[in-house]
Amino acid sequence: MEGTSHPDIACLRRIRSLSQFSDGQLANLADSLEIETAGPGQCLIELGSSEKFSLYLVEGVLRTFTHDQQETRLSHTADGELSAIAQIRPSRYRVVVDEPARFFRLYSDRLADFARHQIEDEPGADIDPFDIDEATEQSMFTIQLFRDLLAGDLKLPSLPDVAQRIQQAFADNLVTAETVGVIIQSDPVITAKMIMVANSALYGGRAPIESLQQAVVRLGLENTRKLVMTYVVKELFDSKTSEMRSHMQAVWKHSQHVASLCRLLAGRLDGFDVEQAQLAGLVHDIGEVAILQYAQQHEELRDNPENLLEAVKSMRPQITGMLLDQWNFGSEFVTVGEECEEWFRNPSDQPDLCDLVLIAQYHAMIGTPQQKSLPPIVALPAFAKLGMGNLAIEQIIEFMKKSRDKIRSIEAHLGSL
């Protein structure tokens, strides 16, 4: 790519949503994109920016900063999937060049034009029309989903009022056992669930409790918040239409299993909160719920499993991140949604919540058809950072076997919420 002003075909093919297009199609798209350069200190995306483009790093090092100055270092990788940087709009990050960088921007309107010209023979089009094969058709539905997302035409699921009020109270630092209790009491079903959980084997004390106020005190404010979110998230997996019910149930079953593994691992490893880990596992694929809801309104997705699978594969991480950000879950959870399938992610030397979910998800895929595509677990940075690199594979397998009953118990608990 050195010495050229456009990204090459191989570079574009590393973008998941474009990977199925032909070389000729990608060559036309590449001709419309420009490689830009920037030096240290130059800002590429401002915090809060609503400009609708995806930024892809070709060479160099960037740093991202949140509103509270949390910093992440991002460097170019020579192979593997090419992911957009700070893609959520309005942007939650300020993106600054750390070492001389080369990059390109893929604007949503240009991507929409590209998708449209695959199926329309319009006079004067910048991109020639092409014969549509099955792979191209799948990618175009993905790009249509992407375009609707950026245009604000994709209706994202919203949290119930009680969950929104609790999230906002925590964001405003206006939380006490009394205020949280008042909010929860507005929903009798969640009130009953919290009392039931507080009396369960996981949290129960010697004396049974009968009031919500006692339940909040026993569980603690943070645990109460996470349990409420766990309950309302589970409700989002319910589908009112038979067409999507089996899809939703499959996503819930996988998320439930990953959440159970997250709780198990968090209880064994230092530095992790088991409730936070469980909730992260439960929401790590929540964007798929939004895609399935979108598919219910688009029969070309609803009635075509291949198109739907491609859309899920391509767009789930970004939509999950957007949902979790919209729901005020915090940057750690947003990172989980966006990066928990990037097996070789390694933003720092310290393990984070995403590393934990990534390893849990890896274990959840063992014994499934997806296992064939997995890299060796010992090659994953998260595996070493979590301190699991000191264990032999046989020890890990034995630990997971011995933990089956505990995993089933956690899954049963989640299923009862």
Would you say residue 111 has pLDDT above 90? no
| Cα separation, 299 vs 39, whole angstroms | 47
* Of the ranges 129-133, 155-159, 169-173, 190-194, the best mean pLDDT one: 190-194
- Please check whether the domain covering 9-150 is classified as CATH 2.40.70.10: no
- pLDDT attached to residue 281: 93
Would you say residue 236 has pLDDT above 80? yes
User: Average of pLDDT values for 186-200?
Assistant: 87
Percent of the chain with pLDDT over 70: 84
Q: What phi, psi does 120 have (nearest 5°)?
A: -120, 130
Binned at pLDDT 50, 70 and 90, residue 4 comes out as: low
Q: Where are the alpha helices (DSSP H) in 199-328?
A: 212-219, 221-236, 242-268, 274-283, 287-296, 299-302, 305-326
CB count within 10 Å of CB 367 equals: 8
Binned at pLDDT 50, 70 and 90, residue 136 comes out as: low
User: Average of pLDDT values for 194-210?
Assistant: 79
Give the helix/strand (H/E) hosting 58: strand 53-65
- To the question of pTM greater than 0.85 for the whole model, the response is no
- pLDDT attached to residue 61: 92
Tens of pLDDT, residue by residue over 62-105, are 999 988 788 888 888 776 678 788 777 778 789 999 999 999 99
- pLDDT attached to residue 17: 67
| Cα separation, 341 vs 355, whole angstroms | 10
Tens of pLDDT, residue by residue over 250-288, are 888 999 999 999 999 998 888 899 989 999 999 999 999
| Cα separation, 318 vs 334, whole angstroms | 9
In terms of CATH, what superfamily is 237-416?
Answer: Hypothetical protein af1432 (1.10.3210.10)
Would you say residue 127 has pLDDT above 60? no
Domain spans of the chain, in order of start: 9-150, 237-416
Percent of the chain with pLDDT over 90: 18
